[in-house]
C-alpha cells in the first residue's frame, strides 16, 4: 500500500503531516547522534546550546526563550542533568527558582553540537532547494500568522463569507 492517505486529505491534514515529518527528522537525528556518541536526544540540543551561549538560566527563562512549556523544559533539564551536562541549583535570590548551568562536559558537547548544527543547516538548505521551498521560513511564517489570527477566527470568517451558520455550541455538563 503506497498511497499517502494524509496527503489525500489536503491542507487540513497539515498538522499530522508536520508531526510525521518531525518524527522522521527526530529519528534520523537520533540515529546520527547515536553514531556520534552523543548521549542526549535531539530535542534537548537547543536547551544545551542556549545555556552555552547565555550562561546560567532559570527553567522559565529557557521556556520563554525557546517558546516551550515549563514542564517540557523540565524534561529537557532531566535529560541534560542525568549524563552530567548541567547542574541544577536553587536561585540564591529566589529559592523556588532553579538555575541550570552547563558543566565542563556540557560546554564541550554544546560546542560540538553547535558545529554539527552549522553543517546540518547547510544540509537542510540543500534539501529546501531540492523541494523548492524554504520549509523552515514557511513554517515560522505560518506559526506567526496563526499567532496573530488563530485558526478558529479564520474558520469563522470563512463561514461568514459563505453564509454558513456557526456550528452549534456544546453545552457544558453540570457536575
pLDDT (0 to 100) of residue 27: 95
Average pLDDT, 10 consecutive residues per value, the chain (175 residues): 79 91 94 94 94 95 94 94 94 88 96 93 97 95 94 88 68 63
pLDDT (0 to 100) of residue 116: 93
Distances (CA, A) of 121 to 39, 112, 114: 21, 14, 10
- For the chain, give every domain's residue range: 12-132
pLDDT (0 to 100) of residue 10: 86
CATH number of 12-132: 1.10.10.10
Closest to 14 (Cα-Cα) out of 147, 161, 138: 138
- HSE toward the beta carbon, residue 148, CA cutoff 13 A: 5
Closest to 72 (Cα-Cα) out of 83, 81, 63: 63
Cβ neighbours of 32 (radius 10 Å)? 13
Amino acid at each position: 500500500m503506497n498511497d499517502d492517505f494524509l496527503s489525500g486529505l489536503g491542507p487540513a491534514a497539515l498538522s499530522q503531516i508536520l508531526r510525521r515529518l518531525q518524527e522522521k527528522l527526530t529519528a534520523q537525528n537520533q540515529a546520527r547522534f547515536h553514531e556520534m556518541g552523543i548521549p542526549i536526544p535531539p530535542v534537548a540540543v537547543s536547551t544545551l546550546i542556549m545555556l552555552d551561549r547565555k550562561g546560567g538560566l532559570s527553567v522559565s527563562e529557557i521556556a520563554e526563550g525557546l517558546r516551550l512549556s515549563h514542564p517540557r523544559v523540565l524534561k529537557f533539564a532531566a535529560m541534560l542533568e542525568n549524563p552530567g551536562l548541567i547542574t541544577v541549583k536553587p536561585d540564591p535570590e529566589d529559592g523556588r527558582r532553579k538555575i541550570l548551568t552547563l558543566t565542563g562536559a556540557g560546554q564541550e558537547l554544546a560546542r560540538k553540537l553547535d558545529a554539527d548544527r552549522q553543517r546540518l543547516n547547510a544540509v537542510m538548505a540543500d534539501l529546501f532547494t531540492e523541494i523548492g521551498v524554504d520549509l523552515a521560513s514557511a513554517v515560522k511564517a505560518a506559526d506567526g500568522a496563526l499567532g496573530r489570527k488563530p485558526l478558529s477566527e479564520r474558520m469563522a470568517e470563512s463561514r461568514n463569507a459563505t453564509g454558513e451558520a456557526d456550528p452549534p455550541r456544546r453545552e457544558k455538563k453540570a457536575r
